[in-house]
Structure 1
Amino acid sequence: MKRIFGRKKGILSEGYLWIIMAGLIYGLGRLSRRNPQLLERLYPASVNRALIRLLSRVTGIIPISLGELFVYFNVLLGIVLLVLLVIKIFTGGFVGLAYKTVTYISLLYVVFMLVFGFNYNRASVRQYLSLERTNYGHEELYALNEMLIERANQLREAVSEDESGVFTIKESHQEIFTMAQEGFERFSAEYPVFSGEYGIAKGIIASEPLNYTGITGIFMPFTGEANVNTKGPDLLFPATVIHEMAHQRGIAYENEANYLAYAVSSYHENPSIRYSGTILALISSMNALYRDSRESYRMLYDTYSEGVKRDLAAYNVFYKAYEGEVHEKATKVNDNYLKSNGQTQGVKSYGEMVDLLLEQFIQKNEAIR
């Protein structure tokens, strides 16, 4: 605490510089949201990815999530500062402590934007995949779902299941973390922009309590770590790992990270990883079809294999037990976070990965792999 808030030697000793820098970066963020080309000239995506890559490799040396510990530290620090600020209203020194608090928040904002925040203003992932933004109709959406169901049914026959007949992963979490890296290596052979060695994904210590929020993974911008809930169902676990690793590679938007989770998993040889990514894509695509035509949705749902139906039912039952006020508040916080970073549709934008799926399916006359 003293090193942070120290009078002469602390990192906040020249606090006004951090406050000014935060203001400048905020202004640049607003400008670059309307003009991504300006951002690329001032802070290229390649430079940002190199920074995250270096940061994640350094923090990756430590087996536990430093980002998670960083969150706990700042929550505790925030409580302490709030109490101290109230006390100093009556005892004196409020202005000085408030100034240092604002300085520290400015420092965090600057680091967040430099490591990750600016990626919300960059051009779409489409530019790396040679896809063109296009709107498609019911016929194309129906065909996409037919393809995904066929793939999911086929892959389901090649994976393991538990005594209840529900999909289970034979490999350990650590093995999946390593195998997910291999998926990106294969994917980046065709799309080099996603190449490079990053720190391996890590499990979240507080995974069980996190189930009450509905959060399955978190990218930690301050440490460059891809963190994953290890206490949830196996069904989407590999896809979640790849999703968080996509954030490591500078993909900020949830819909684009979801799409990459499907795309990268499709390049993997392991059927469990391929199945997980396909189910993630199928859930989003079928949800879009349900909104478009419930009759079409029901017709295609009947073509699910019994194994796929059991897996989806078990997944829903698992999270049903955790629903409640905490889940609703966490969803609202996440929604506000996404909107504050330009994702104007908030959590609803998770369904927008279907646009990318359709573009890949129609424009290249194929699904990934």
Structure 2
Amino acid sequence: MKLQKTHILPILLILQITIVKALAQFPEFIEEWYSKGLYPKIAFLSRNLLGWIPFSVGDLIYFILIVSILRWILKNRKGFMKNWKINGLTILSWLSILYFTFHFLWGMNYYRVPLNEKLNIEKEYSVEKLEAFTLKMITKTNALHLLITQNDTLAVEIPYSDTEIFDLALNGYQKLPENLKEFQYKNKSIKGSLLSYPLSYMGFGGYLNPFTNEAQVNILKPKFNSPMTTCHEMAHQTGIGSESECNFIGFIAAIKNEDIYFQYSAYNFITRYCLGNLERIEEGKSKLFFEKINKGVVKNFEENEAFWESYHSPIDTFFEYFYDNFLKLNQQKDGLESYSKFVGLMIGYEELMINED
């Protein structure tokens, strides 16, 4: 049978998937030749081309793409099944282009050497270690909260604009510890997302656009979260695919920032995750720890929960399911739970730094 032009891209999609899955078995190769080789050059070019533009180019591209898809569906809705072959080949051709572009511009970072292996630290921890670490995080969060509010019953309100937060976020990345220097951030490209309303309904605080290398931040969510969210998305821009590792690098960058609001955002963030991990171990296990938290910090917790609850719908349930499976297909076997795994990285990293001292 003669190979037709309409078959080429769908066949290439199968070939691409095979190659990517084969390369995934060689993380050292990906680390050296892509994450530390090709990707930094791509990121440098993308962020210099688009970083200066005050709005999100990536969001506009997504909007145009969604409108184009809807128009194509409407145009071909009559007789769609009758022309299933040509329509199927068209869809597969576009998927082939997107698959290649995604992995070439950023996606291969999913398959690099895991950070815990590079640092030689354990991700797993005992209940006792988690409890001790949680107490430390609560103590630090409470102290920062009091420094800001001077009153343990007041919630923290960040006095910065979104643009000021994006600018301040660079400071922490310039002060990363020596063993994390490879993740220093250059060539800022951080934007408030034009799609913040859809992101809220989808349950996302931000995202990295892999095609334009712009870090997108949901500007509707409570602002005390924004410094940590910004640092997390910047970590993706440095070439990290893993969500737990981005939480880890973002947390370190935020607490190394001289700005006290960044430090509070990070410690508030990790305290919530610590409490959540205690609850996963045993229901009610976090109660005694929760009682030690300043009332003002709790008000920030409640502000965060109220925001996401106000946007809760079947939409975010669907996207949670979709993104959970997307992560599992991309080397993150824990899916959405991988976000909380950064607590284990922090416990291991803290032990590493103590031993080195």
TM-score, length-scaled by structure 1: 0.86
Residues 53 and 196 in structure 1, CA contact (< 8 A), matched pair in contact too = no
Task: Give the Cα separation in 2 of the matches to 1:15 and 1:195.
Answer: 44
Asked if 1:322 corresponds to 2:293, the answer is no
Residues 168 and 235 in structure 1, CA contact (< 8 A), matched pair in contact too = yes
Residues 120 and 341 in structure 1, CA contact (< 8 A), matched pair in contact too = yes
Which letter maps to 1:185? Q
Instruction: Tell me the CA shift for residue 311 of structure 1.
Output: 1.3
Instruction: Tell me the CA shift for residue 81 of structure 1.
Output: 2.2
Q: Map of 1:61-72 to 2, 5 A cutoff?
A: 61-72=52-63
Instruction: Tell me the CA shift for residue 219 of structure 1.
Output: 0.6
Asked if 1:291 corresponds to 2:280, the answer is yes
2:347 corresponding residue in structure 1: 358
Task: Give the Cα separation in 2 of the matches to 1:345 and 1:190.
Answer: 26
Task: Give the Cα separation in 2 of the matches to 1:223 and 1:72.
Answer: 14
Percent identity of the aligned residues?
24
Task: Give the Cα separation in 2 of the matches to 1:14 and 1:42.
Answer: 32
Report the RMSD for the aligned CA atoms in angstroms. 2.8
Gaps of 5+ in 1: 1-12
1:258 corresponding residue in structure 2: 247
Which letter maps to 1:103? S
Asked if 1:73 corresponds to 2:64, the answer is yes
Tell me which of 93, 98, 112 is aligned to 1:108.
98
Mark the CA change 1:52 to 1:18 in structure 2 (over 3 Å): closer, same or farther: farther
Task: Give the Cα separation in 2 of the matches to 1:167 and 1:134.
Answer: 31
1:154 corresponding residue in structure 2: 143
SS of residue matched to 1:269: coil
Tell me which of 199, 204, 207 is aligned to 2:196.
207
Which letter maps to 1:119? N
2:329 corresponding residue in structure 1: 340
SS of residue matched to 1:226: strand
Task: Give the Cα separation in 1 of the matches to 2:112 and 2:336.
Answer: 19
Task: Give the Cα separation in 1 of the matches to 2:193 and 2:149.
Answer: 25
Asked if 1:228 corresponds to 2:217, the answer is yes
Residues 200 and 308 in structure 2, CA contact (< 8 A), matched pair in contact too = yes
Instruction: Tell me the CA shift for residue 330 of structure 1.
Output: 2.0
Per-residue CA distance 1:209-262 (angstroms, 9 max, x = gap): 432222110110010000000011022111001111111111111111111121
Residues 65 and 204 in structure 1, CA contact (< 8 A), matched pair in contact too = yes
Per-residue CA distance 1:251-295 (angstroms, 9 max, x = gap): 111111111121111110001001101111111112112222455
Instruction: Tell me the CA shift for residue 365 of structure 1.
Output: 2.6
Task: Give the Cα separation in 2 of the matches to 1:188 and 1:234.
Answer: 27
1:241 corresponding residue in structure 2: 230
SS of residue matched to 1:342: coil
Residues 116 and 123 in structure 2, CA contact (< 8 A), matched pair in contact too = no
Mark the CA change 1:325 to 1:354 in structure 2 (over 3 Å): closer, same or farther: same
TM-score, length-scaled by structure 2: 0.89
Tell me which of 101, 106, 111 is aligned to 1:121.
111
Task: Give the Cα separation in 2 of the matches to 1:350 and 1:32.
Answer: 25
Greater mean alpha carbon deviation, residues 255-264 or residues 265-274: 255-264
Instruction: Tell me the CA shift for residue 32 of structure 1.
Output: 2.6
Instruction: Tell me the CA shift for residue 99 of structure 1.
Output: 4.0
Which letter maps to 2:57? L
Which letter maps to 1:64? F
Asked if 1:26 corresponds to 2:17, the answer is yes
1:9 corresponding residue in structure 2: none
Mark the CA change 1:254 to 1:44 in structure 2 (over 3 Å): closer, same or farther: closer
SS of residue matched to 1:186: coil
Residues 149 and 304 in structure 1, CA contact (< 8 A), matched pair in contact too = yes
Residues 52 and 189 in structure 2, CA contact (< 8 A), matched pair in contact too = no
